[in-house]
Amino acid sequence: MISEKLTLLRENFKNNASPEAKKIIMNSLNELKTKKILETSLKIGDKIPNFTLSNSENININSDDLLSKGELIINFYRGSW
């Protein structure tokens, strides 16, 4: 189901996006391919390395502390708080 939605989104973009938007996307995709991001990214079943990040209240949170309580979902927000 999600793959069908992604296919529809991709086709919609190809058919309706401006040439400038298409160029930006293609440049970004080529940059990711050059950096071999898919080959170096984590895969399903891989274990993430321990990390510490600040939350929305600027409090440092350690991944190992969270994992000791159960499963962990990581969500990244673009921009600033």
Q: pLDDT tens across 15-33, in order? A: 999 999 999 999 998 998 9
Residue 51, by phi and psi: left (phi above 0), alpha (psi -120 to 50) or beta?
Answer: beta
Using the Cα atoms of residue 29, residue 25, residue 54 and residue 75 in order, give the sign of their dihedral.
Answer: negative
Given a cut of 90, is residue 45 above it in pLDDT? no
pTM reported for the whole predicted model: 0.47
Name the token pair of 28: 């970004």
DSSP state, residue 42: -
